[in-house]
Amino acid sequence: MKILLTNFHYGRGGGHDTYILAIAKGLSRRHQIFVAAPSTSRLFEKASKLEHVTTLPLEFPAKLKDAGRMISAWRALRSLLEKERFDVVHVNGSPDHRLVVFSLMCFKGRKPRIVLTKHNSIAIKSDFVTKIRARATDDVIAVSDSTASLVRDSVYRHCSLITIKNGVDTDDFKPSDAAEIAAARKSLLGESKADKLVLGTVTGFDWYKGTMDVIAAVSALPPSLREKIAVVVVGTEPSAEQWQVIDSVGMRSQLEVAGFVEDVKPYIRAFDIGFVTSYAVETVSFACREMMAMGKPVIVSSYSGLPENVRDGVDGWVVPPHDPDSLTRALKGILERSDRLADMGKMARAKAVDEFSQELFVDRTEMVYRLSQS
């Protein structure tokens, strides 16, 4: 099959990048894979380095002020679709989905099957343009059970719907031995903090990620417990306003901020516990699954698809979203039973191997594509 994967982000696409790169790499030896994305995007850069994958610099303008660019982008995409005659076009957001649908209007010959992945927890609109997009779509992939519910209750209800939760490379994301963990902690935290319980995330400080809720929860612990914890955050750095809040609760000395890194594994290696405490946008979270694959129990909020990752008290903990007080209570319980963390980490790894396989994720996505051949 000839398959086109599209994405609209101009810089970092977060989980979209991880998702599309996994599919492209996993299927590139079995099918002709093309990836279309802006030339300035991280996805374009990464996909360009994959063997047997063709990258195409395409933009997907989304705003009215970009109407002129939309016309040139439409022409470029229309020309591509007419030339390549793809079997499947797999879109991953509203801007690329919209442009693909309009580029296929009055298309001569057999149209490609359009597959849409619903990556977020944002409610689906029922406006005129969305209805047009829905009518032109053949299949919808939901990345969590909660996302699938959104699709069923939307204008996409007529589409073939399958839930395929994100997979991670459990051979790449794997537990480290004690010496590697000790070295990672020493390198990241220094000698003085190497014996702290490390609470970490690779989701950054974006407003909806709930990282500031964790900062507030740790700061509210009794001093004797608070001093036992170090917080490590990889990803988007705090804004000036967030730093002010961090300083106001005296948490700067207990916080390590790494910013964006290409390889998060050395940081996860240093964690005792991971956390993904989002309260908007999020679905099932690659970050959560990567941390679990490396043998880290994870605290998740009960938002959207996040609780689908863990078994509360077995391989992680589930707390209410955007609720620092509940997080503080959970942390007290975790510190009182810190002897359970190693066993919970093993359970997290076992679940990742059993349920988060990247191979299964890719194979099930391929199954959706093969519908176009039936």
Residue 211 has pLDDT above 80, yes or no: yes
CATH topology of domain 178-355: Rossmann fold (3.40.50)
pLDDT at 66: 74
Among candidates 108, 105, 109, 107, which has minimal Cα distance to 133?
105
pLDDT at 371: 83
User: Rounded mean pLDDT of 212-235?
Assistant: 97
pLDDT at 372: 65
pLDDT grade for 238, boundaries at 50, 70 and 90: very high
User: Rounded mean pLDDT of 201-215?
Assistant: 98
pLDDT grade for 63, boundaries at 50, 70 and 90: confident
CATH 3.40.50.2000 residue window(s) in the chain: 2-167+357-373, 178-355
pLDDT grade for 64, boundaries at 50, 70 and 90: low
Burial of 75 (0-12, 13-18, 19+ CB in 10 A): exposed
User: Rounded mean pLDDT of 116-122?
Assistant: 97
- Residue the block writes with tokens 């919209």: 98
User: Rounded mean pLDDT of 149-167?
Assistant: 97
User: Rounded mean pLDDT of 247-253?
Assistant: 97
User: Rounded mean pLDDT of 235-254?
Assistant: 97
Residue 192 has pLDDT above 90, yes or no: no
Per-residue pLDDT tens digits for 270-314: 999 999 999 999 999 999 999 999 999 999 999 999 999 999 999
For CA atoms 40, 43, 49, 55, give the dihedral sign.
Answer: negative
Expressed in angstroms, the distance from the first to the final Cα of the chain is: 12
Q: Which amino acid is at 151?
A: V
Q: What's the chain's average pLDDT?
A: 96
pLDDT at 374: 65
CB neighbours (10 Å) of residue 153? Answer: 11
pLDDT grade for 51, boundaries at 50, 70 and 90: very high
Contacts of residue 277, defined as CB under 8 A and 6 or more positions apart, other chains included, come to 209, 210, 211, 213, 214, 299, 300, 301, 319, 321, 327
DSSP-derived secondary structure for 327-374: HHHHHHHHHHTGGGHHHHHHHHHHHHHHH-BHHHHHHHHHHHHHGGG-
**Which homologous superfamily is 2-167+357-373 in?**
Glycogen Phosphorylase B; (3.40.50.2000)
Name the pTM for this structure.
0.95
User: Rounded mean pLDDT of 355-373?
Assistant: 93
pLDDT at 68: 75
